[in-house]
Copies of this chain bind each other. A is one copy, B any other.
Amino acid sequence: MDKHLTHINEAIRLAVENVCNGGGPFGAVIVKDGEIIACSGNTVTQTNDPTAHAEVNAIREACRRLETFHLEGCAIYSSCEPCPMCLSAIYWARISEVYYAATREDAAESGFDDSLIYDEIAKPVGKRFIPFIEMKVDETTKPFRIWQEYEDKTRY
């Protein structure tokens, strides 16, 4: 358990450091074979990137470093329970384990409330407060047809 404590405390330390650097109170580290291979704070405001949550930043950095788009065998340690965007990124990246300290309820108490997005994802498309509008057009499935026919594709 000690190694897990070391890594989660590093994620928390990064989160605190990140606040002092003008960013949000979140940090994450990615570990492979016992070694930290990527780490980041949340840099949404510093980099004008609403997707630059700590976990997403760390996933991007780990993939750059390993030159892969999959992170099987890696664990991510986050100072806070991942939001739905980061949770989904963790699945797309095929990370193997997720450890976190603060819960979404702890975050909500400090004004970082993901529950709205958790609720919206579960709703039927027509019931969300951002309108999601399906358009019926002739070539809807053309990209998938081309993909299936294309021989040099890299599956992911």
**B-binding residues in A (CB < 8 A):** 4-5, 8-9, 12, 15-16, 18-20, 22, 24-27, 44-45, 48-51, 56, 59-60, 63-64, 67-71, 79-85, 87-103, 106-107, 109-112, 116-118, 120-122, 125, 130-135, 137, 139-144, 146-148, 150, 152-156
Contact = CB atoms under 8 A, between A and B. Distances in A.
A10 to B, nearest CB: 11
A141 B102 contact: yes
Contact of A97 (B88, B122, B130): B130
A27 B143 contact: yes
A55 to B, nearest CB: 10
Nearest to A27: B143
A85 B95 contact: no
A118 B122 CA distance: 8
Contact of A146 (B20, B81, B83, B102): B20
Contacts of A117: 87-88, 91-92
Contacts of A64: 48-49
Given A118-B121, A143-B16, A60 B69 contact: no
Given A100-B132, A134-B103, A121 B45 contact: no
